[in-house]
Amino acid sequence: MTDVESFRGQLAEFLERELPKRLGELPPPTADYWGGRKPELPHPMSKRYCEAMAERGLTAPTWPKEYGGGGLDKEQAKIFAAELRRLHLPVPLVGFGLSMIGPTLLQFGTDEQRREHLPKIVRGEIRWAQGYSEPNAGSDLASLAASARIAGDELVINGQKIWTSYADKADWMFGIFRTDAGGKKQEGITFLLLDMAQPGVLVRPIKLISGASPFCETFFTDARAHTKDIIAGIGNGWTVAKALLGHERTMIGDMFGTVAAARNKVAAGNPLAELARAYAGERDGRLADPVLRDRIAQITMDERCFALTMQRSADSVKAGHKPGPESSIFKIYGTELNQRRQELMLSLRGPQCLGWEGPGFDERELVQTREWLRSRGNTIEGGTSEVQLNIIAKHVLGLPD
């Protein structure tokens, strides 16, 4: 038996026999669990499922074992993902800990910082928020003004962050703060971690057009962080912040690449075509509207190509390649692809997508309207498309300013 077969066998033994015995009942396949001190349970078993997987490091399959991860190599991680899909099991844990600050700590953190924070992420104990944007520092992030003043072994933080996703549900924040106001604006920025459960941190949710409130404004009034939670030293935050954005942009692109890959694995038919049949009808066994047929064929091909590209990128990340400026390409393409898909689904359902609540619309139609509205933010979060184009022009293509 090869190593690969033996690994697949051990994994199947765990996932198919041991895990169900421990859980009694498994979570549904689509439920995302974010963990944290005040967890929302999309399913009664979500927390126990996460904990059972975390015991083997399988919430962070490729992170080193010494920090609680699974220590899997690239090939093993692919097998693990395939086994989850085969058994219709969800990824056990999601969040900014796994996708953003974790990889950044592996890149820039000290051994002590990794030992302190990574195992808590793996076990789903701490949920993280990202404190980057400010009212006057979005695309021009280096203009940020929220300050951190060193006082002994602490930093005293004052100012405001905005658009902090899920800050009201998060336990800790990673963010960038100004420790020196002189010199170039990129200098004097420090990347630090802070506990949000303290009197100096005030979080206020912002209501969006989609009806949800995933965003918050976060205010700091003499809030405290420890100097041991400064990453890569005082004044070196800009480099760390940019590297983290690389992870974030890859994650955003990958989100739509993975969704596309999952759709492409649906053996029986194309979900978009099924939707078109249901809403726009068919003639002679084909979709009645030739324009819709073209749009569906085009988007299906584009999604398949993108899924393959993201798979190649994921392989190279697992092999040790750090996401660079090329992650902007994935971010732009993935988010615009999702917006095209949402527009198409809206056209397919037609007036049935004009509903917000009440009778006349089914549950899925009401969700569709909200998903379409939410997708507008995809090309803004993690840096707007215009900003990504600037990065690609300068740092990938080497064009002059």
Ligand X SMILES: Cc1cc2nc3c(=O)[nH]c(=O)nc-3n(C[C@H](O)[C@H](O)[C@H](O)COP(=O)(O)OP(=O)(O)OC[C@H]3O[C@@H](n4cnc5c(N)ncnc54)[C@H](O)[C@@H]3O)c2cc1C
Instruction: Catalog residues that contact ligand X under the rule CB under 6 A.
Output: 130-133, 138-139, 163-165, 377, 380-381, 383-384, 386-387, 390
Side-chain half-sphere CA neighbours of 162 within 13 A: 11
- 387: tokens are 């900003």
Give me the residue whose beta carbon is nearest to ligand X: 138
Decide the pairing of beta strands 128-131 and 172-178. Answer: parallel
Closer residue to ligand X (CB): 113 or 390: 390
- 149: tokens are 């003043």
Coil, helix or strand at residue 177:
strand
Closer residue to ligand X (CB): 318 or 374: 374
* Cβ atoms of 89 and 15 closer than 8 Å: yes
| Whole-angstrom distance, CA of residue 348 vs CA of residue 275 | 7
Q: Is 13 one of the annotated active-site residues of the chain? A: no
As measured in angstroms, the least distance from the Cβ of 91 to ligand X is 20
* Cβ atoms of 363 and 352 closer than 8 Å: no
| Whole-angstrom distance, CA of residue 349 vs CA of residue 372 | 12
As measured in angstroms, the least distance from the Cβ of 209 to ligand X is 11
Closer residue to ligand X (CB): 51 or 381: 381
- Of 248, 274, 363, 365, which one is the catalytic site residue? 248
Place of tokens 């800050």: 167
* Cβ atoms of 92 and 59 closer than 8 Å: yes
- 365: tokens are 């139609």
Coil, helix or strand at residue 202:
strand
3-state helix vs strand vs coil in the chain, percent to 5:
50, 15, 35
As measured in angstroms, the least distance from the Cβ of 374 to ligand X is 8
As measured in angstroms, the least distance from the Cβ of 389 to ligand X is 8
As measured in angstroms, the least distance from the Cβ of 124 to ligand X is 19
Closer residue to ligand X (CB): 169 or 295: 169
Closer residue to ligand X (CB): 11 or 387: 387
Residues taking part in catalysis: 248
